[in-house]
């Protein structure tokens, strides 16, 4: 069994913190508005369409794979 080093533990803690904070951002809306609603209330030319954010699912999946790789 591979001995866990401090970097592996830090990677795991930061991944779990990232997922928790991002989950809370939608679970506990600020002033009753979720992140997407706040973004939509201020129209500008630089905000991407909603479909663009699908890439975050891929990013989280790859970060989870990296975290598991560090622990394995």
Predicted confidence at residue 55, as pLDDT, reads 94
Per-residue pLDDT, 1:
52
Say what the pLDDT of residue 67 is. 95
Instruction: Give this prediction's pTM.
Output: 0.76
For the chain, 72 residues long, give each residue's pLDDT as a single digit of tens. Answer: 567 788 999 999 999 999 999 888 888 887 888 888 888 888 888 888 888 889 999 999 999 999 999 988
- How far is the C-alpha of 52 from the C-alpha of 43, rounded, in Å? 16
Distance of alpha carbon 8 from alpha carbon 17, whole angstroms: 14
Q: Which helix (H) or strand (E) holds 67?
A: helix 55-71
Query: H or E stretch including 13?
Result: helix 6-27
């Amino acid at each position: 069994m591979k001995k866990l080093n401090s970097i592996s533990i830090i990677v795991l803690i930061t991944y779990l913190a990232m997922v928790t904070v991002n989950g809370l951002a939608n679970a506990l809306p600020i002033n009753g508005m979720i992140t997407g609603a706040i973004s939509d209330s201020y129209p500008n030319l630089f905000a991407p369409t909603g479909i663009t954010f699908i890439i975050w699912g891929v990013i989280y999946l790859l970060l989870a794979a990296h975290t598991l790789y560090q622990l394995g």
